Chain A
Amino acid sequence: MLALWGALLWIGIARWERVLAAPSGAWDHRVAFATWILAIITLCGGSILQERRIHESRTMKGVGQWSLAWMAFRKSHVAVGAAITVMVFYLAALLTPFLAPFDPAVQGSLITERMLAPSLTHPLGTDQFSRDVLSRVLYGARISLTIGFVAVSISMTIGTVLGAVSGFAGGRLDSLIMRFVDMVISFPRLVLLIAIIAFFEPSIFLIVAVIGLTQWPQPTRLVRGEVLSLREREFIQAGKALGLSKTRLVLRHLIPNTMAPVIVAATLGIGDTIVLEAGLSFLGLGVQPPTASWGTMVADGRDNLLGAWWISTFPGLAIVLVVLSFNLAGDGLRDALDPRLRS
């Protein structure tokens, strides 16, 4: 909490001219400004709430499934740490225009600033086009985190709906959907993605769409399995007896009860998607230069691996750190959301 306060205040003091110019600047500067204000307000609110909660009497109210899960999640320090790391990454991605010391796309002097080793002015060095690696890693975070989040949202939505329909309807429709799932799953996804992206024009929208549209089989299987066991339960029988429509049964009663494993799968899925996107960018099929993306940066450093190891190493480390955090947070969520694993 204190570190976050420090970081936000430091932005206000050290980067005050950027912050002041932001409301009338480019859209990403405006977003960053809004985030900055919002973060400060949230922090203020959070601190006040915490103070009040300490002073409040300790009367226990009834606890629901989600607050039980939250209490279990809080117990695992590793998972909480990972979740905080993820949030810090998202915050950094949003605040990048204020945080980044240099412009990620502007090339410096090719003679004096090319492939500089990490130093105080360039904490992570510079690349072969004399661009600051730290700034590029920060800007790359936006690409990876956005693609991860949006693509997984798409695939989870499709997967949940298809899985619920498949599990609830059964019969022909079910076996048709499941055969299709088998087909998509037993395919090296990277090859399919490369083929689609290369034959059309690579762009961030295409990448998000294609990744999202090829990832739905896993959540479909997951949700179908859940629905198969849920639909025999009493509350669904009761719903049927009450004469609820099928749509209502699926949307209001089945799908909300399958959310716990879906949330876990989504958290783990964002990590996988980030690795996948990095792989695509590495092959030159991701977001096109000069926009910074972690996979592209790793590829940029390939030719000067020995002379300038920092170009490839740091973006890769950023990937590992983010994906590791997502995986740890996902594991923690799994333990917290599964009543059988709660002790």
Chain B
Amino acid sequence: MIAFVLRRVLASIPLVLGIATIVFFLLSLAPGDAASLFVSPNITPEVLEQMRRNMGLDQPVHVRYFRWMSAMLRGDFGISFSRNQPVADIIVQILPNTLILSFCAFLLAFTAGILVGVLQAVRQNRLTDSSLSVVGLFFYSMPSFWLALMLILIFSLGARNLWGWPIWFPASGMTSVEYPFMSPVEQLRDRVAHLVLPSVSLALVLAAGIARYMRGSMLEVIRQDYIRTARSKGLSELSVIFKHALRNGLIPVITLFGLYLPFLFSGTVLIETVFAWPGMGRLVVDAIFQRDYPVVMAGTFIFAIMVVVGNLVADVLYALVDPRIRYD
């Protein structure tokens, strides 16, 4: 087992490096460089040339590549052009925000998706099943950013200004303006309230996919002999489904954990923009628009690492849970 994990870790290192390489060369192909951001009538060509030299942009591509790669492997991501701050510091500040959001969204998506999938499988071809399928497919077909806007319209703006509902959720940022003056309990509540809409709009689209998958895998498990045995022993339906069937039904869903990570991170890019959530997605998007190369490189690199690590965890979990899988 340990050998298997080690081998998978070793195999994912070239993967990460390969992704970083692709990103580097794609971006170096782009017209214009970081120094062109500062082009203005107030700056003489000599100063611009000096800036290029300071940023190391006067070197040929392969030299820049090796410099950048070796610096990055030492954990040095360079200095952000737009914020004048080491990129590593910015990422350390911002990464937790994205992790919180993605973790909540994933938790929500998997809980909801698994429950709905099980319910559908148990009630196969009945009204509950077909109506949940339609609802699921509806959410599955939805762009997450539009869903986010609609949730804001209904549960934030509408609920507060039009209908005066007692509960409404804030639609932007991680905390309220008066956050520093709150008691710890209120602070926690404020944070949770700010998390609700972004994580729900991220999770619903994923949950719909998970439910589809879960339904299929549960249907296969439920037909097996050992489930009939469990029923004929006189176990309650609840214990048959949740204790016996669910365990095996969950196995294929674990692969989704790895498969959905890239989707989740793509989703956070849009959702963080909609909700003004100070996370990695927004950081990278802003950096792209400002041509802040070091941040773009570091951001995409971090995303790639998170995806690869997620896949690794999924693989290991899969091998742990399913004894039929050989890991040699």
Chain A partners chain B = yes
Query: B141 to A190, Cβ gap below 8 A?
Result: no
Contact B149 A324 (CB under 8 A): no
Select from chain B the residue with minimum beta-carbon distance to A312: B149
Contact flag A191-B269 (CB < 8 Å), given A298-B149, A302-B149, A305-B152: yes
Are B141 and A188 in touch, CB under 8 angstroms? no
B39 CB within 8 Å of chain A: no
> In the complex, which residues of chain B have a beta carbon less than 8 angstroms from the beta carbon of A320?
138, 141-143, 146
Contact A323 B141, CB 8 Å, known A195-B23, A195-B26, A313-B150: yes
- Any A CB within 8 A of the CB of B153: yes
Known contacts A194-B269, A195-B288: A324-B138 contact under CB 8 Å: yes
Residue from A192, A301, A326 within 8 A of B300 (CB atoms): A192
Question: Residues 148-181 of chain A: 1 if any B CB is under 8 Å from the residue's CB, otherwise 0?
Answer: 0000000000000000000000000000000100
Residues on B with C-beta less than 8 A from A189 are 262, 266
Q: Which residues of A contact B19 (CB under 8 A)?
A: 183, 186-187
A305–B153 CB distance below 8 A: yes
B251 part of interface (Cβ distance < 8 Å): no
The segment from B44-52, B156-164, B236-244 that touches chain A is B156-164
Residues of A contacting B65 in the complex (Cβ-Cβ under 8 angstroms)? none
Interface flag for A279 (CB, 8 Å): yes
**Contact (Cβ within 8 A) B141 A279:** no
Chain B CB within 8 A of A327 CB? yes
Q: A316-B149, A327-B137 are in contact. Are A183 and B22 (CB under 8 A)?
A: yes
Q: Do A187 and B304 have beta carbons less than 8 Å apart?
A: yes
Other-chain residue from B153, B269, B291 in contact with A190 (beta carbon distance below 8 A): B269
Report if B27 contacts A (CB, 8 A): yes
The closest CB in chain A to the CB of B152 belongs to A305
Give A185 to B304 CA distance when docked, in angstroms: 10
* Contact among B141, B281, B296, B307 for A195, CB-based, below 8 A: B296
Question: Using Cβ atoms and an 8 Å threshold, which residues of chain B touch A327?
Answer: 137, 140-141
Check if A283 is an interface residue, CB within 8 A of chain B: yes
Q: Judge whether A195 and B300 touch: CB under 8 Å.
A: yes
The residue in A187, A192, A198 that gathers the most chain B C-beta atoms within 10 A of its C-beta is A187
Assembly CA distance A195 to B301 (angstroms): 13
Contact of B141 among A191, A309, A324 (CB under 8 A): A324
8 A Cβ contacts from B129-172 to A = 137-138, 140-146, 149-150, 152-153, 157-158, 161-162
Which residues of chain A have C-beta atoms less than 8 A from B23's C-beta? 192, 195
Q: Does B311 contact A (CB under 8 A)?
A: yes
The residue of chain B having its C-beta at the shortest distance from the C-beta of A322 within the complex is B141
Q: Which residues of A contact B294 (CB under 8 A)?
A: none
CB distance from B306 to the nearest CB of A (A): 9
List the B side residues contacting A195 at CB < 8 Å.
Answer: 23, 26-27, 284, 288, 296, 300
A185 CA / B266 CA spacing, docked (Å):
12
Check if A191 sits within 8 Å of B145, measured CB to CB: no
Q: For A275, list chain B residues within 8 Å (CB).
A: 141-143
Interface flag for B308 (CB, 8 Å) = yes
Contact of A188 among B138, B307, B311 (CB under 8 A): B307
In the complex, B299 has a CB within 8 A of chain A? yes
CB pair B289–A306 under 8 Å, yes or no, is no
Q: Is A230's CB within 8 Å of the partner chain B?
A: no
Give the shortest distance, in Å, between A71 (CB) and chain B (any CB).
22
CA distance A191 to B27 in the complex (A): 12
Cβ–Cβ < 8 Å partners of A188 in chain B: 262-263, 265-266, 269, 303, 307
Q: Answer whether residue B317 sits at the interface, using C-beta atoms and an 8 A cutoff.
A: no
Check: A200 CB closer than 8 A to any chain B CB.
yes
Residues of A within 8 A of B304 (CB): 186-187
Contacts of A190 in B (CB 8 A): 265-266, 269-270
CA A327 to CA B138, docked complex, whole Å: 10
Q: CA of A295 to CA of B146 in the docked complex: distance in angstroms?
A: 9
User: In the complex, what's the smallest C-beta–C-beta distance from A209 to chain B, in angstroms?
Assistant: 13
Residues of A near B307 (CB, < 8 A) are 186-188
The answer to whether B97 has its CB under 8 Å from any CB of chain A is no
The proximity string for A residues 183-215 relative to B, scoring 1 for CB distances below 8 Å and 0 otherwise, is 101111111101110111000000000000000
Inter-subunit contact B15/A182 (CB<8 Å): yes
A271 at the interface (CB under 8 A from B): yes
Partner of A191, one of B18, B161, B284: B284
Find the A residue at minimum CB distance from B139.
A320
Residues on A with beta carbons closer than 8 Å to the beta carbon of B27: 195, 199
Chain B CB within 10 A, most for which of A188, A323, A326: A188
Find out whether the CB atom of A305 lies under 8 angstroms from the CB atom of B145.
Answer: no
CB-based contact B162/A306 at 8 Å: yes
Q: Which of A183, A191, A306 has the most CB of B within 10 A?
A: A191
A319 at the interface (CB under 8 A from B): yes
Shortest C-beta distance, B309 to chain A (Å), equals: 10
- Beta-carbon contact of B141 and A271 below 8 Å: yes
Asked if A147 is at the interface of the complex by the 8 Å CB criterion, the answer is no
| Chain B residues within an 8 Å CB radius of A312 | 146, 149-150, 153
The answer to whether the Cβ of B3 comes within 8 Å of any Cβ in the partner chain is no
Q: How far is the CB of A48 from chain B (nearest CB, A)?
A: 37
Contact between chains at B300 and A191 (CB < 8 Å) = yes
A328 interface residue per 8 A CB criterion:
yes
Shortest Cβ gap from A184 to chain B (Å): 8
Q: Nearest Cβ in chain B — how far from A257, in angstroms?
A: 25
Contact (Cβ within 8 A) B158 A306: yes
A13 to B143, CA, bound (A): 37
A19 within 8 Å of B by Cβ? no
- The distance from the CB of A163 to the nearest CB of chain B, in whole angstroms, is 18
Give the 7 A-B residue pairs with the shortest CB-CB distance, closest first. A199-B30, A190-B266, A316-B146, A323-B141, A188-B265, A324-B141, A306-B157
**What are some 5 contacts across the A-B interface (CB < 8 A)?**
A188-B266, A194-B288, A313-B153, A316-B143, A324-B141
Q: Which A residues form the contact surface with B (CB < 8 A)?
A: 179, 182-183, 185-192, 194-196, 198-200, 271, 275, 278-279, 282-283, 295, 298, 301-302, 305-306, 309, 312-313, 316, 319-320, 323-324, 326-328
Please name 18 further chain A to chain B contacts, defined as beta carbons within 8 Å, in addition to the given A279-B143, A279-B144, sorted by A numbering. Answer: A187-B300, A187-B304, A190-B266, A191-B265, A191-B269, A191-B281, A192-B23, A195-B27, A195-B284, A195-B288, A196-B30, A200-B30, A275-B142, A278-B143, A283-B269, A313-B153, A319-B143, A327-B141
